[in-house]
Each structure stands twice: as structure tokens, then as C-alpha cells.
Structure 1
């Protein structure tokens, strides 16, 4: 059901592959853009989405940051670091977070996560 709602015309999954409904294909063939979607400078997106630049949502006091590339060895009571594999089904799993030293964390202060930050994995696979 969530897949159908998100894809606006996709039928149920079969063997892990979503099937496209005939109505969806007809809408695309006739209109170029399916019902419930709109054409934007970044492509076809759901009508209720907005296109924004990352710069427009970071605010004046926050910048786009890469994070700590080399966390060093795991420190049992150290500062937790988020990795792509720590994100599972949209949630952060805290049981296996790698932890770094206070010194390394301080060197990357601008990369410390705050509430409502957007996390975009640059490499690897989520979960």
C-alpha cells in the first residue's frame, strides 16, 4: 500500500519488483506526466513536493558538511559517529555506533548532527 501511494499508479510488488498499472502507462503516454505528478527542472516529481536547493534549507548558521572521514579506533565511551549502515528503515540504530575521541570530534565540530538536520549518504548502502 505504501509503495502504491508513493508511486501513484504502481501496483503491488511481485518478487521485489513493482509492476506498473495500465492507467499509469496510459497517463504517461498521453500526457508525458502522470496524474498526481508535475514536471520540474529536476524531473517529474509528486505534485505536493517542492524543489529547493540545499543552500536554501541550510540556514545562515549551518553549512553543508561531509562529516568525519577518519574516526580513528573505536573508543568505548567516546563520541558517537553516524555511518550509513547505522540507518535502517529510516531510523538510526544506536546499538553499533562507532565512537571517536573528543579531540577528533572537536576538530569536526561543524559536522555534529543537530535536530532536523538532513543526512545524505555519499557512499555505501543505507541499512
Structure 2
């Protein structure tokens, strides 16, 4: 009887250790966005470089997306709209990926749009950077 109780206690202790989930922390995922500000002529497209670094203890499958104010969406086009960077192992870097940004002038001679690039994994935003897009006539 004592042996059965001892086995149950030991298995309960190890069950907590074995089922522990390696969770990513926000500080472990770093987004790199170059340049942080771009100038475009009306209808012109330029490229932005994005890179994600996973310095955590477990692998991730991050997606980078750009958020824009709803009133600015008709005037900005990101190709692709979101970027799946594939599976990144611990300590791995995605390398720079290129994303096209096309801007259209809404009114006037110059307008400044703000966009936010976000790294999303498992429904959580891990890092974000701002991108300023200046469109001129």
C-alpha cells in the first residue's frame, strides 16, 4: 500500500514537470523594420524590409501584418497584406523579407500616413513598429 501511495505522489510531482508548456514571452520576439519612414510619389510603390528574430526557448510561426486607420486603407496598399514568415526555431532569424508599399494621395499636395507593423503569434501581438509613409504629388 505504501508503495502505491509513493508511486502516486512521485507521478503527481513529475506530471507537473512534464506537462509544463514552453511559452514565448514578448521580449523574446524582435521585429526589425527598415526604413521606418518612406516618401512616395502619388501612385508609386517602394519596398520595406521586415525581419523577425526569435530569441526565445521554443519555436514560433509568426505573421507580420500592417495595421492602418480605416479611413486611410483606400489610399495605402501593402503587398502582401500580411506575411507568414514560416517556422522559426529558438535563436533563429527570418532574414529580411521585402514588402511593397503603394501610396495614393487622398487630397492636397502632401499627406502623411501612419501604419503599424505587428508580429503576431498564437493570437498575441509580440512586437510592433511604426511606419510613416509620406505621399507627395
TM range (shorter): under 0.3
Q: Which has the higher strand share?
A: 2
TM-score, structure 2 length as denominator?
Answer: 0.24
Q: Which has the larger radius of gyration?
A: 2
TM-score, structure 1 length as denominator?
Answer: 0.26
Q: Which has the higher helix share?
A: 1
